[in-house]
Homo-oligomer: A and B are copies of this chain.
Amino acid sequence: MDLAYNEEYVEFRAEVQAFLKANKSSAPKGRMGWGQADDKSRTWQQLLIKHGYAARTIPKEYGGFGAEPDILKNHIIAEEFAIAGVRPGHSGDPRLVPVVLELGTEEQKHALVGPTIRGDMVWCQGYSEPGSGSDLASLSTKAVLEGDEWVINGQKIWTSGAQHADMIFCLVRTEPDAPKHQGISYLIFKMDTPGIEVRPLVTMTGEAIFNETFFTDVRVPKDQIIGRRGEGWFVANATLKHERGSLGDPNQLEGRFRSLVEMLKSEKIDGKPLIEFPIYRDRLLKLQARVLSMKCNGMRILTANTKNEEPGLARWIVKLLGCELNHQMAALAIDVMGELGVLYEDSPYLRNYGMWQRNYMLDLGLIIGGGTAQIQKNMIGERALGLPKEPKYDAI
C-alpha cells in the first residue's frame, strides 16, 4: 500500500499542471468534447493531442499521440483537469474508436480514427430499439444485401446526439434465420444518407437529450461494416464494456458530494443551517461513507489495471452502486431544500441551477440505462459469483 506517486509521475503531474496553467484560458467551457463540433473545441482538442493529453495512446499514424499505455498517467491527467476545472480532451468517441482500432481494416482506421479524435467526425450509436432494451440481442432493424449495398429498415431509440452526428455505428439484423446473437452485423454509415429520420425523444427531465432514429430503405455500401457479417454482437460487446465503465465514476461522486455538503452548510431553515439538523446530517454521513468506499474501490481498480490484474467484483459493482448513490445524493439534496426542492426550469430561487432536481431524474434514467439494475444484479450473480443462469424455458 503506497499512495504516493514515484518521481516519473510526480514530474508528469507537474508538467500537466504547468500546461493547464499556461493554456487554461484557451479551453472551451462546458461539458466534455465529443459530440460537439465548434471551432474552439476542435482547436483545444488538437492542442491536447499534440501534448498527449488526449488520444494519448492512439498510434501516431492514425492521428493520435502514440504513447505507451500508462493508466496512472491517464489518471493524473483526468485528476488535474478535474481539479483545474478545465474541460478534458477525448479519444474520439470512446465507444467507437477502440473498436475500429481493434477490429477495423487498415483502411477504416485511417479513414475514421483521425477525424473522429479531432472532432471532425461526430458519431451516434444505434443499438437499442423500442422492443429491445434489456434484451438487446433481440433487435429487429434489418439490413438486406442488395448487390453492393445494404438496405436498412427499422428503428433505433436512445440515439443521443443523432441530430448533430456525422456518422452512426449501428447494429442490424443481417441473418434473420440465425440464432439471435449470431445474426447481427455492425454497420457504419453517414447520417445524411437518404432515408434516415431523426426525431427528438423528450425524457422526464423535459429535455430531448436522446432521439428516435428511423431508417427507411437506407442504402449503405457493402464494405461499411466492422468485423465480419453476423459477428456484430461480439464487436459491439467490446464497446458496451467501455460505456459501462464510465458510469459511477468516483471523481464524479466526490464532486457531487462536495456540492451537497456545501448546500447543507449554506441553506437554512428558520435561520439554522441544515447541517445542524441531526436527521439530515446523519443521512449525509451515511452517503459520505459510501462515497469514500467507492473512492477507495476506484483506487483498487486503478491499481489492478496498472498491474493487468482483473479487478473482479470491485469492477462489477461500480455501475449499480455508483448510479444508485448519485440518485440518493440528489434525493437528499431535494429533501433538504424542502419546498425549494421542487422548483424547476428557469424558476427564481433555484439552487445550483436546478441540477439536483434534474439529476434526481437523470440518475434514475442512468440506473435504468446501460443495463438496468436488475440486469446488473444478474451479471454480478452469474459472472462474479458464479451462480447459475436461469434454466431454459418454453417461450410464453
Instruction: Decide yes or no whether A396 CB sits under 8 A from chain B.
Output: yes
Interface residues of A in 199-221 (CB under 8 A from B): none
Interface segment among A76-84, A106-114, A386-394: the answer is: A386-394
A393-B391 in contact (CB<8A): yes
**Residue A1 lies at the interface, judged by CB distance under 8 Å to chain B:** no
Interface size class of A (residues with CB under 8 A): 10 to 19
Q: How close is A387's CB to chain B, nearest CB, in angstroms?
A: 12
Quick one: closest B residue to A391, CB to CB?
B393
Q: A4 to chain B: which residues have CB within 8 Å? A: none
Per the 8 Å Cβ criterion, residues 232-248 of A in contact with B are none
This chain: how many copies in the complex? 2
* Bound-state Cα–Cα, A393 to B393, Å: 4
Q: At the interface, yes or no: A3 with Cβ under 8 Å from chain B?
A: no
A11 at the interface (CB under 8 A from B): no
Shortest distance in angstroms between A384's beta carbon and chain B's nearest beta carbon?
A: 20
- Measured in the bound complex, the distance between the Cα atoms of B394 and A392 in whole Å is 6
Shortest CB-to-CB span from A289 to chain B, Å, is: 15
Contacts of A394 in B (CB 8 A): 391-393
Whole-angstrom CA separation of A392 from B391 in the bound complex: 9
Q: How far is the CB of A374 from chain B (nearest CB, A)?
A: 14
Closest approach, in angstroms, between the C-beta of A393 and any C-beta of chain B?
A: 4
Q: Does A70 contact B (CB under 8 A)?
A: no
Please state if A390 and B393 are interface contacts (CB–CB under 8 Å).
Answer: yes
In the assembly, what is the distance between CA of A395 and CA of B392, in Å?
A: 9
Contacts of A393 in B (CB 8 A): 390-394
Residue of B whose beta carbon sits closest to that of A278: B278
Report the Cα distance A393→B391, complex, angstroms. 6
What distance in Å separates the Cβ of A285 from its nearest Cβ neighbour in chain B? 10
Please give, as numbers and ranges, the residues of chain B lying within 8 Å of A392 by CB-CB distance.
393-394
CB distance from A17 to the nearest CB of B (A): 43
Supply 15 A–B pairs (Cβ within 8 Å), ascending by A.
Answer: A277-B278, A278-B278, A278-B279, A279-B279, A279-B282, A388-B396, A390-B393, A391-B393, A391-B394, A391-B395, A391-B396, A392-B393, A392-B394, A393-B393, A393-B394
A277-B278, A391-B393 known; 6 other A-B pairs, CB under 8 Å?
A278-B278, A279-B279, A388-B396, A391-B396, A392-B394, A393-B394
